[in-house]
Chain A
Amino acid sequence: MTEPSPLWPRIVSAALLGTATRPVPSGGADPVLIEYLESLSPGTPPAERVLHVAALTAVAANVSGPTPVAGLEPVPCADDDARPLMSPYLAGVVLAALPYPHADRWCLHPVAAAGLRAPVRLIPPLLRHTVAHPEAGPAVAALTGPRGAWLAGVAPGIGARLTGPDGAAGPVPAQADWDALRAADRATALQDLGAFPAGGAAEALCERGLDDRTATVRAAAVHALRGTVGTAYEGRMRARAAALVRRRRALLGDKLDIAPLGEPDAAALRDGVAWPPPQGISPSAYWVEQLSAALPLAAWEEILDAPPERLVGASGEFGTEFRTGWRVRAAREREPRWAAALARSGEPADLALVPGPWSDALSENVIRAFSTMLRSDDWHPLPAGDTALIDAAARNLPVGRRSPWPHRVGVLMAQSPGPRAQYFAPLTEILRLRTAIAEELPQ
């Protein structure tokens, strides 16, 4: 005698096709339900019989709850972290700081330097922060400690990057691993190299990256090479600079001359020189701006044999382009002599290069510049230099219980509801957060 097939699938079929045309099956019921089904009177209409079975099946499935699973292995345990825990208030401040620009510099690094560890509720958002902000990796690694490293390992989906481009040298992928990587991962690997020594495996990998078929990988390789002194890349760019730029004494100081220029050769294009120039920009200006940003500032002092203040103040057809490139380098290298020289050039944006905390005199100048900006009724977007200054003020204006600058900015904002006030909203919030951090950290 064969056992009847399970009742439930046949009941569902009957409900789908309709009991008007499909007989209601019997037999094969779950043993738990048999007693209840037998209590139905024989004259129960077919549709009601189907609904009875459906009700009993639904209740039985619901009441049994989730099916327990045996034999699953829990994840391994993390190492202990004996460092002092940051206060819940400070943890809230750190969390609130993450969406703002350069939070690693004005928030994560100072808190990490105080030797505090992050509470567990802060660890996942900090690790997630490094996905879009790899430069925050070292500070996040310090704040989250062994628990953060453990979580990054057991939950790779977070995508944590705990070494950053400006941090300690990150791992260099082996040749075979590199070949197997997807383009996005190759770019990430180059970005994660950190500060590497010239002449090693990391430089060789970057040189390979210059020949990569994907533009983002080539760009990552150029960026990594530009951050290291003494590389072959620097040597090639130095040769190009030496052939192109001359400094000479003129009547009113130094002057920078540019040799006649043709199109960049294949080697220059391999080294990341962008070409052709956008419409409206001369080829020479485009070349100079890229070249000036490609070399370390110390290399320019050597090539042109002059200190920063003379080079920044030099005349010449392409002075603006030189300063634009050097501004990029000064921001990356955080080089105080060049920052000071550029800041004296008169561009508000160059004040942004001066490392913090700013002096009272500089802060006063910046507040005056802000006052002028806020008084404007211009609805056009704020120039990039002005926004850079606002960003820098958020990082570098002195804060603390006795500092007048957060209050001065607040008053300025309250008195200036013009179209440009929107650009200053992050500034007031960052100053508030920095003040809270300064008061919360052990002195």
Chain B
Amino acid sequence: MMCFSGSVGVGRWTREQVLGLAPDAASAKAGTKLGVPAPWSNSGATDLAIWGACQGSGSRPYQTIVELAGPAYKCSCPSRKFPCKHALGLLLLWADGGVPDADAPADFAAEWLAARVQRADRSAQRTEQPRDPERAARTAAQRTDAVAGGVAELTLWLTDQIHAGLAGIDAAAYERVDPLARRLIDAKAPGLAGRVRALPAAVIGAGWPERLVRELGLLWLLARAHDRMDALDAPVAAAVRRHVGYPTATADVLAGPTQADDWTVLGSTESEEDRITTRTTWLRGAASTRWAAIFDFKAPGGPPLPMRPPVGATVRGALAFYPDGRRALPTGDLTPTDPAGAPAPSGCAAARADRAARCAIDPWHVHHPVLVTGRPAQAPTPHLVDADGAAVPVRLSDDAWWLLLAASGGAEVTVAGLMGADALEPLSVIAGGEVIAL
């Protein structure tokens, strides 16, 4: 059984998981070619690492090592891709059961793996050193002042826009919002900057004036809430801080209270903004019924996204939560365990009430994780009809809808999804005791 510190493992990886690590399609294709036994020699695997020598066109084979915990890769080939095709090929071969088990790593692998352990120890020691509280307070005060300046500029900009009128903004949206977005970045308010930068998207398509005025209203609400943050309830203030873009130190999160449970992965989504890929893994605790979202980020040229368990897997361990109570970090090992039982049926009304309760402390909250039990209906658009006969609109691709239909066979299923303001966006469907990613 494999388990990872700060990450999660699921035993031997599948080919899909391995190919998911490829930096591009060409690497995946080249790695697939090398995922056969013929070019490999001196290969072996332990619970922590796999290694092998791959005969290429040169006289000396390339020595390839993969540490599974990171995962981390080392290869003597000259490729600048990460992981290279040899590492992918070796992982694919291992996924197919083509790498023999070994008691200890080969010499060329043992040296690199030992060096990594030493580096990890030094890094852990640095992390454990206490922060200077005075310096932290000084930094926080400086940031608060900078953000307040940015919020003041945002307030002025908003009133100016309404005073002068929004007509014509659809023809030059970026020119009107970009200077403010840059200023908000300088003011250390990336959350506000992101919302401002997203405004041009609101002016695309019919009905844009109404959409845009609503978005400006939400920005106004955020700015006003920030001005009187000291008077707000703690959960609302935490929501304001998060939407404005105040950072939360990982060490502070890990030092806070934790929640131990059997966590079932009910969804995984990926998005890209400013060339940064964000992956969100959605988990739900079997006993606590609490939702958690683990975020992973990948920058261009940076290391690949870490391995997470696939949708449907259940892992046991503790999670530490950010102040929003949703974003989480594993505090230690998360080990694969038996699948959690099927969740209790939940209708549309319960899901809407749960979302409304969350919006009451976070008015900017949109996508809320819920479970909805019902039967599919497709007249005129996809819906889910619960036991009370109430139908909630479902927004998903054709492929995902067909899969949801296939999983249900027309019978009642439970859908895990993100409920927005006007529809449910499914992440997975639970049918016959199986969780199927949509």
Residues of A whose CB lies within 8 Å of any CB of B are: 8, 11-12, 14-22, 45-48, 50-59, 61-78, 92, 96, 120-121, 123-124, 127-128, 147, 150-151, 154-155, 157-158, 406-407, 410-411, 413-414, 417, 425, 428-429, 432, 436
Asked whether A414 and B391 contact (CB < 8 A) given A51-B216, A69-B383, the answer is no
| Residue of B35, B214, B424, B436 with highest tally of chain A CB at under 10 A | B214
Q: Are A65 and B419 in contact (CB under 8 A)?
A: yes
B210 touches A410 (CB 8 A): no
Query: Complex formed: what's the CA distance from A428 to B158 in Å?
Result: 62
Asked whether B356 is an interface residue with its Cβ less than 8 Å from the other chain, the reply is yes
A410 B385 Cβ-Cβ under 8 A:
no
Question: A93's closest neighbor in chain B, by CB?
Answer: B15
Q: Is B352 an interface residue (CB 8 A)?
A: yes
B165 and A16: CB pair below 8 A? yes
Instruction: Check A70 against B389 for contact (C-beta < 8 Å).
Output: yes
Please list the 8 inter-chain residue pairs (A to B) with the smallest Cβ-Cβ separation, ordered nearest first: A54-B217, A18-B165, A410-B38, A74-B375, A55-B217, A77-B410, A78-B409, A58-B214
Structural contact, A73 and B359, CB atoms closer than 8 A: no
**Contacting residues of chain B (216-267) with chain A, CB-CB under 8 angstroms:** 216-218, 220-221, 224
Q: Is the CB of A70 within 8 A of B217?
A: no
Hey, what's the 0/1 contact readout for B405-438 against A, CB within 8 Å counting as 1?
1110111000000011111100000011000100
Complex formed: what's the CA distance from A395 to B168 in Å? Answer: 63
Judge whether B14 and A19 touch: CB under 8 Å.
no
23 residue pairs A–B, Cβ–Cβ below 8 Å: A15-B209, A16-B165, A17-B167, A18-B166, A46-B163, A51-B158, A52-B220, A55-B224, A57-B217, A61-B421, A63-B356, A65-B352, A65-B420, A67-B422, A71-B389, A73-B377, A74-B374, A75-B405, A92-B16, A121-B436, A151-B406, A155-B405, A410-B38
Across the interface, name the chain A residue whose C-beta is closest to B399: A124
Q: How far is the CA of A52 from the CA of B158 in the complex (A)?
A: 11
Question: Counting CB contacts under 8 A, is B104 at the interface?
Answer: no
Q: Assess the A47–B405 pair: CB atoms within 8 A.
A: no
A424 → chain B, closest Cβ, in Å?
Answer: 9
A92 touches B15 (CB 8 A): yes
Residue among B210, B356, B398, B405 making CB contact with A64, cutoff 8 Å: B356
Are the C-beta atoms of B14 and A69 separated by less than 8 Å? no
Contacts of A50 in B (CB 8 A): 162, 213
Closest B residue to A151 by CB, please name it: B406
Q: How many B residues are at the interface, by size bracket?
A: 35 or more
Q: Would you give the shortest CB distance from A431 to chain B, in whole angstroms?
A: 9
Is B376 among interface residues, defined by CB-CB distance under 8 A? yes
B199 vs chain A, min Cβ distance (A): 13
Determine if B32 is an interface residue (Cβ-Cβ < 8 Å): yes
Q: Which residues from B are CB-within-8-Å of A65?
A: 352, 355-356, 419-422
Cβ-defined contact, B220 with A407, below 8 A: no
Residues on B with beta carbons closer than 8 Å to the beta carbon of A19: 162-163, 165
Cβ contact within 8 Å between A410 and B348: no
Minimum CB distance partner of A22 in chain B: B165
B112 to chain A, nearest CB (A): 25
Contact status B221-A120, CB under 8 Å: no
Asked if B409 and A63 sit within 8 Å, CB to CB, the answer is no
Would A68 and B390 count as touching, CB distance under 8 A?
A: yes
The reply to whether B218 and A15 contact each other, CB–CB distance below 8 Å, is: no
Give the residues in chain A near B36, CB-CB below 8 Å: 406, 410, 413, 428, 432
Q: Which B residues lie within 8 Å of A45 (CB)?
A: 159
A75→B377 contact, CB < 8 A = yes
Complex contact A20–B405 (CB within 8 A): no
Q: A72-B391, A77-B409 are in contact. Are A51 and B402 (CB under 8 A)?
A: no
Distance A128 CA – B399 CA, assembled complex (angstroms): 9
Q: Across the interface, do B383 and A72 meet the contact criterion of CB distance under 8 Å?
A: yes
Q: Is the CB of A74 within 8 A of B376?
A: yes
Contact of B32 among A52, A75, A120, A429 (CB under 8 A): A429
Contacts A59-B363, A72-B377, A77-B411; A15 near B166 (Cβ below 8 A): yes
B57 to A, closest residue via Cβ: A417
Q: Are the CB atoms of A66 and B218 closer together than 8 Å?
A: no
Which residues of chain A are near B423, meaning CB under 8 Å? 66
| Nearest chain B residue, comparing its CB with the CB of A418 | B57
Is B403's CB within 8 Å of the partner chain A? yes
- A128 CB to nearest chain B CB (Å): 8
Query: For B164, what are the chain A residues with a Cβ–Cβ distance below 8 Å?
Result: 18, 20
The minimal Cβ–Cβ distance linking B70 to chain A, given in whole angstroms, is 25
Min CB distance A155 to B, Å, is 5
Name the A residues within 8 Å of B385 (CB-CB): 72-74
